Structure 1
């Protein structure tokens, strides 16, 4: 098996493990099984697997996806290669690295950190606890090293060539410290949630943390770049006390201190924090580890969750948006699935985070380039609201996947030969549950900024997005909602998604063009109503279930 090749690297350290009281053969076997099982799980970044492959010989999909991380690391090369200001360039480098590694930790490695199968299966057997805990630690460490190595191998080589061996060695040390800091903070966050809530709440919060992290880190890019005053080609850094919470500056400070222009009090203090901080949180976490392991048992418990209010809301919305009884049924079914399917939320909710903040990021950049807030309010910056629809094609595609896809046999038992109500109900539920709240929230803020004059424009944008949604459904491959396992997600369709992104730009451009005509926005609104009526009729025509299959 492929996992044995990786484990052979641990064999020379057998005596070290045994000196710490670890039963090495048992630990090695547990780790081997963990890595073998990981071969059947597709990572978030590369959700691709061989559906017909033999599970016994199926290779690890995460390892296959590492080349994508190497490609992504190329964005770091210009910042490492520049000889401008170490504090500036390395803050950006570590900011990007922390974002990539942390999101990967939450999206792909939460199941590793929160694995309770060890307790359920092994704790009842005569297996040493140290062997179980060491296997778990090595499991996380192996993937973290592979991920971090893929993201930093090219920047490390560029840094060695441009800045010398001291930069190279310092970069390696700071990367290791950064990894420790990320892992411990992630685990500490889970401990904090489990300490006060049950396992069901943690499973939900993991999804919401990913959204919040996406928003925070994306906004953080903008914030980090504004720590510096760029004048001509010179970069000036002015440290302030509140920058203590900007963690990338910790790991960038040693470069400025040792290789740059020297260190003031803040630079030295941040440099010390880059070492003391990770070691301190690691020590604190080691003290909390027993409590963390006890609280993990909450993940094995399932408590009933009140859904009465949510179901009532789904019932009301289904009556409002759906005319047919069968369509209402699948609206409520899809609404419930999107609310409780954690795998679905883990894949889709980060897209909501990006769609939520992108319009404001572009509007903020426009504010900086214009003469001021008053001038921006009189402009057409409200058109940035079209960016909230960037998530639509991805979510429409993801409607076919589910962690409970084996239950798709139910479609074959329903005495229903017309698929239109199934698809139509699912798409409407997606609009109401996922897109609707994002649009309403953003529209309210845009109304506050630009005033009541943009109400017709908001209606036009909504109609454009509805048309964009149905077009996305028409051009993407169709499968029964929630009938495919996530392991069958394919990475193809790049050109289709690119075309849909261009189409969204066309809608925004058409909207902008009609604003220059007298009553142009109302004319475009009328045309969009007609186009929507035709498109929704064409997209959801009668079909047969007989040609559809499920896994």
Structure 2
């Protein structure tokens, strides 16, 4: 498949050569990168206690992608007009590809290791920058072709077998557009901002863009009348001419249904075909020069700023809120150290923030997704129904999603080697480090988030829900402790990312999550008795205190150690 896709990109060789890319070097660089990837141990082979995972996990991933593709393919029948259905399909498809690129492949694009190996050779900026994008494109294309199987089947039934090869071309077109548009934004950012702020801006852009994509994907179908799309004609709206999914869908309209295609549709189809070529030329000719030098300056600036942090921190140590909170809630010296380490690293590590911060936006998105449907004809009617209901219980318990996202990532880091200090010190109870870690993430993330949700809840439903907020907050802390006990088997930022077990503890996580939702259902049944809710807060706080006491007593045998 890799060789086939490499040959597929040979059609761009003349254009790349004219833009200054050494196509022979480009081919050799990408070929070596793909060979190295094939020799790299798969993440699923790293699981220690699940030897069968190596044979079943790839089939599981294949099945999930096929099911996802089938569900997305159903969007093709959303309208009586094929162009509308294909526009909706490729909108969802490009959203999924963009989200995959942002979450999984940004580190590949911004990796500086090539500078130490390839740049000493006579390789120019354009060639190396395009090789990164081509390397990413091949992997995303393989996933895209797998997901498009469902769409191919639907198109075969709707437009006949003749439309299937054309649909493959449209899928390639949509994938290339997604990759190139995201990369253009990244390269423009590198050209526009100072090196010191580039990585921070990219990190927050990743977070914000993934949130926007997630919100559009889940909320747009709930906030609009889908039935109105059945008779809509996109060519009657000027703003549709600016949407790449419309360009891609227009190609089907022109070649399969030429009787319905006009001049505007033909121009849109031409725009869809030429957009990937123009985008690739723009990257190679305009944005790629200076790309690698900018990466090196950014990396060195990042290292210098990191090195300067301790000096700045020592000056403000007396007034540090971190030290004050650590001394307040973690009086034991070992627990205090675990609190401070977790707080400071969680606030600085970009990879951790990229994985965790979107969870803060997912909660309100999920809440609107579950509540703003079928409650009225307008948004005001839906809001009125929401205000007179008890949906705030769902909002409060959804906040545990944030705690879960933090705990699932708190033990992993790409720079885990310095964690040897945990094992070098004479610590007999590592559970104290873990309890300090848990208190840090609860105060840094969970408590402020619950306060914000509580203020929003009181503004909408009134002060009578304060007791429900307090009870749900401590129930969430108990849920977090259960997750920490059974799911977090490593000290803060002490495990390599490759050792992360994706499905080994899925059953345990499902049981714990079901338990907290069962507690939430019981809370929902009892919420009409205000006094009972106030009384229940006392035993819930007591249970949390007892669980924290035993959490501190964990030994080294209960923690998964790493080789340093």
Shift in Å at residue 129 of structure 1? 5.9
Cα displacement string for residues 58-116 of structure 1 (whole angstroms, at most 9, x for unaligned residues): 99x99995564334322223223667443553343223212221121122221332233
- Which shifted more, 478-487 or 14-23? 14-23
Find the counterpart in structure 2 of residue 55 from structure 1: none
Shift in Å at residue 493 of structure 1? 1.5
Of 205, 212, 220, the match for 1:209: 205
Does 1:493 pair with 2:505?
yes
Check 1:522–1:548 CA distance in 2 against 1; reply closer, same or farther (3 A cut).
Answer: same
Of 485, 505, 522, the match for 2:517: 505
Of 430, 435, 441, the match for 2:446: 435
Contact 1:207–1:342 (8 Å) recurs in 2 = yes
Find the counterpart in structure 2 of residue 379 from structure 1: 389
Alpha-carbon distance in structure 1 between the residues aligned to 2:224 and 2:556: 61
Check 1:485–1:192 CA distance in 2 against 1; reply closer, same or farther (3 A cut).
Answer: same
Shift in Å at residue 121 of structure 1? 2.7
Contact 1:341–1:403 (8 Å) recurs in 2 = no
Check 1:8–1:522 CA distance in 2 against 1; reply closer, same or farther (3 A cut).
Answer: closer
Find the counterpart in structure 2 of residue 392 from structure 1: 403
Check 1:8–1:234 CA distance in 2 against 1; reply closer, same or farther (3 A cut).
Answer: closer
- Which shifted more, 232-241 or 505-514? 232-241
Does 1:79 pair with 2:80?
no
Alpha-carbon distance in structure 2 between the residues aligned to 1:226 and 1:328: 46
Check 1:104–1:41 CA distance in 2 against 1; reply closer, same or farther (3 A cut).
Answer: farther
Find the counterpart in structure 1 of residue 113 from structure 2: 117
Find the counterpart in structure 2 of residue 531 from structure 1: 543
Cα displacement string for residues 160-199 of structure 1 (whole angstroms, at most 9, x for unaligned residues): 2332245434433332332232222212222232234344
Does 1:297 pair with 2:302?
no
Contact 1:211–1:353 (8 Å) recurs in 2 = no
Find the counterpart in structure 2 of residue 425 from structure 1: 436
Find the counterpart in structure 1 of residue 85 from structure 2: 89
Cα displacement string for residues 337-392 of structure 1 (whole angstroms, at most 9, x for unaligned residues): 22223333343334344235322333333754794433321221211221121243
Of 205, 214, 228, the match for 1:218: 214
Alpha-carbon distance in structure 2 between the residues aligned to 1:8 and 1:236: 39
Alpha-carbon distance in structure 1 between the residues aligned to 2:123 and 2:279: 29
Alpha-carbon distance in structure 2 between the residues aligned to 1:12 and 1:355: 42
Contact 1:191–1:295 (8 Å) recurs in 2 = no
Gaps of 5+ in 1: 53-57
Matches within 5 A, 1:36-47: 36-39=35-38, 47=43
Alpha-carbon distance in structure 1 between the residues aligned to 2:259 and 2:507: 47
Does 1:342 pair with 2:388?
no
TM-score by structure 1 length? 0.83
Cα displacement string for residues 197-254 of structure 1 (whole angstroms, at most 9, x for unaligned residues): 3445333333323322232112212454368644599554676555667654554455
Cα displacement string for residues 118-156 of structure 1 (whole angstroms, at most 9, x for unaligned residues): 333322224466654554343233223212212213322
Contact 2:71–2:150 (8 Å) recurs in 1 = no
Alpha-carbon distance in structure 1 between the residues aligned to 2:92 and 2:562: 39
Matches within 5 A, 1:57-72: 68-72=64-68
Check 1:435–1:418 CA distance in 2 against 1; reply closer, same or farther (3 A cut).
Answer: same
Contact 1:514–1:521 (8 Å) recurs in 2 = yes
Of 172, 175, 178, the match for 2:174: 178
SS at match of 2:357: helix
Contact 1:358–1:388 (8 Å) recurs in 2 = no
Shift in Å at residue 485 of structure 1? 0.6
Alpha-carbon distance in structure 2 between the residues aligned to 1:289 and 1:203: 17
Does 1:161 pair with 2:157?
yes
Find the counterpart in structure 1 of residue 101 from structure 2: 105
Alpha-carbon distance in structure 2 between the residues aligned to 1:315 and 1:194: 36
Does 1:456 pair with 2:467?
yes
Check 1:199–1:499 CA distance in 2 against 1; reply closer, same or farther (3 A cut).
Answer: farther
Find the counterpart in structure 2 of residue 325 from structure 1: 333
Contact 1:420–1:543 (8 Å) recurs in 2 = yes
Contact 1:468–1:504 (8 Å) recurs in 2 = yes
Alpha-carbon distance in structure 1 between the residues aligned to 2:10 and 2:276: 27
Contact 1:66–1:147 (8 Å) recurs in 2 = no
SS at match of 1:436: helix
Contact 1:92–1:221 (8 Å) recurs in 2 = no
Find the counterpart in structure 2 of residue 514 from structure 1: 526
Shift in Å at residue 422 of structure 1? 0.5
Find the counterpart in structure 2 of residue 474 from structure 1: 485
Alpha-carbon distance in structure 2 between the residues aligned to 1:13 and 1:78: 30
Alpha-carbon distance in structure 2 between the residues aligned to 1:290 and 1:510: 61
Shift in Å at residue 488 of structure 1? 0.7
When the two structures are aligned, how many residues end up with a matched partner?
Answer: 538
Check 1:359–1:261 CA distance in 2 against 1; reply closer, same or farther (3 A cut).
Answer: farther
Alpha-carbon distance in structure 2 between the residues aligned to 1:15 and 1:253: 23
Contact 1:401–1:482 (8 Å) recurs in 2 = yes
Contact 2:137–2:176 (8 Å) recurs in 1 = no
Contact 1:73–1:152 (8 Å) recurs in 2 = yes
Contact 1:420–1:540 (8 Å) recurs in 2 = yes
Does 1:316 pair with 2:324?
yes
Shift in Å at residue 519 of structure 1? 1.9
Find the counterpart in structure 2 of residue 148 from structure 1: 144
